[in-house]
Structure 1
């Protein structure tokens, strides 16, 4: 990695390939600002640096429309002492998340992590949420936003053909330069990536073993795949939600042919002990609707109307919320009549926590299952075969998201 020519940077810009722009000023070894650009991902990230080389402000802009950039995220850190580490827990910070539909939230932590926080709506007018897209090389506006206008002494000239300094990574401090200039570098970073699906086939394969969590000597293994019954979908428009919610939400934008489909839940256990005695806690890791018998070739995130995956930041996802420790799948035609009542919480009705409710009016039904470790938010993944047809939908409880597959996948002793 190192500086690249203007021609190379312009070529990468036109192709949507990642590159970075580092802005420096005379006599200052640390960059004033760094721009990370990857138009294939619709992404422009801007970082501002203080005199100690610590990042103090972040802007995350997304190209959601032709000719305009949306300001998705603003973050700012305050370091009270010169020797405070970058992003130290004691550093005060403000985080703002904005969304194209006008929503926004602001989190203020004046004493840093653990020092109390204030959560409010983000009062940012629409004209400040959008910026006109600029041409290659027009970076002053973004740097001015990140540094709040403090651009004294900074040159935005093109990088020389043979700059004296090499920036190893946009998020690391490189060696000092003796003249002021800005230069483009090959990427030592990658654009923010939404949550990716992991182990969705393996979690439904009994005996599959995974690497142990940090606090366990033995990793989890798939114990059972339980048939929960037939899910009836009279319209094929699927809703995933907490069955106790009064408003189940909109169905996914991807529908399946109306019909009757097998539904399963998968469980995994991680051997442990309590007071010297062996203990095996078994948790639901996922629930799936089997649409076809064809193998899944690729996965995509299930979305509801208005959800735009281009706005997701690192490891973020759209999912369904859970407050009762249970989730469900249900057809949209039956959702309003079957959710929101006390009878949707299975309690001890089933040893596996499964409950099936029928809606004679629509012909659909609702199948309730335990939601992994309990309350939270969980993504649903849509599987497709090589022809692009839907093979299944999987509600992922995220229990296995950080684990790795082990080569020995034989059935664990139970």
Structure 2
């Protein structure tokens, strides 16, 4: 609903950890990914900052006005974790913060109160977080290795004694139709009993 809402910035050691827009004083009892218009659940960053803006004010602004305001306030992020400003006048309707360690894609979550109403919006810059990985091994078979999506983060071939024969990070990746593939053509096949080690990204947790 229209109104005045607080914005909180969490920071540690001069690094922005998270940004939260408080829509209600009710505590959040559940969290749900905030879906963007393109179907993703994260905000893409390529300029080291993230802004929350009132969409009604945003659509009324000319591009030149938005660019001028951005340039004016982005320099302030060198000295403070966040800055607030008005897009169309004196009323503060936008906030901008530095985005954790910099560019990337950061997940956003809606916080829901016990009655199902929205209580907050959080942008998590995954600073105080660790990746959840799962490593599995299967018998190695010659030929191309393909993976769909971005969940597979590591591929290695190990000899029966555990010696490293191949680290796929050093191979080129080819992406066709959403499938990424890496091809290894060794001079000699690995010894019998060699294994393919696959590391998958399952998500992250806060520490």
Q: TM-score per shorter chain, which class? A: 0.5 to 0.7
8 Å CA contact retained: 2:106, 2:123:
yes
TM-score scaled by length of structure 2: 0.54
Cα distance, 1:304 vs. partner? 2.5
Alignment of 1:399 onto 2:137: no
CA deviation digits over 1:359-396, x for unaligned, max 9? 33695621111100011111211000110011110011
Select the residue among 279, 295, 298 that pairs with 2:27.
295
RMSD over aligned Cα atoms? 2.5
The number of aligned residues is: 128
Describe how 1:366-405 pairs up with structure 2 within 5 A: 366-402=94-130, 405=207
Alignment of 1:340 onto 2:67: yes
The match for 1:283 is 15
Structure scoring higher RCO (CA < 8 A, sep ≥ 6) equals 2
Gaps of 5+ in 1: 1-256, 270-281, 308-316, 406-414
8 Å CA contact retained: 1:287, 1:395:
yes
8 Å CA contact retained: 2:84, 2:92:
no
8 Å CA contact retained: 1:324, 1:345:
no
8 Å CA contact retained: 2:31, 2:110:
yes
Question: Following the alignment from structure 1 to structure 2, what is the Cα–Cα distance between the partners of residues 344 and 384?
Answer: 35
CA deviation digits over 1:197-255, x for unaligned, max 9? xxxxxxxxxxxxxxxxxxxxxxxxxxxxxxxxxxxxxxxxxxxxxxxxxxxxxxxxxxx
Alignment of 1:263 onto 2:14: no
Question: Following the alignment from structure 1 to structure 2, what is the Cα–Cα distance between the partners of residues 362 and 351?
Answer: 23
The 3-state SS of whatever aligns with 2:56 is: helix
Question: Following the alignment from structure 1 to structure 2, what is the Cα–Cα distance between the partners of residues 344 and 286?
Answer: 23
**More strand by proportion, 1 or 2?**
2
Describe how 1:41-80 pairs up with structure 2 within 5 A: none
TM-score scaled by length of structure 1: 0.28
Alignment of 1:329 onto 2:52: yes
The 3-state SS of whatever aligns with 2:107 is: strand
The 3-state SS of whatever aligns with 1:327 is: strand
Please say which structure displays the higher CA radius of gyration.
1
The 3-state SS of whatever aligns with 1:260 is: coil
The 3-state SS of whatever aligns with 1:259 is: coil
The match for 1:351 is 79
Gaps of 5+ in 2: 131-204
Runs of 4+ in 1 over 4 A off after TM superposition: 361-364
8 Å CA contact retained: 1:326, 1:345:
no
Select the residue among 42, 47, 50 that pairs with 1:319.
42
Describe how 1:124-163 pairs up with structure 2 within 5 A: none
Question: Following the alignment from structure 1 to structure 2, what is the Cα–Cα distance between the partners of residues 392 and 379?
Answer: 14
CA deviation digits over 1:284-308, x for unaligned, max 9? 110001111111110011112352x
The 3-state SS of whatever aligns with 2:5 is: strand
8 Å CA contact retained: 2:33, 2:109:
yes
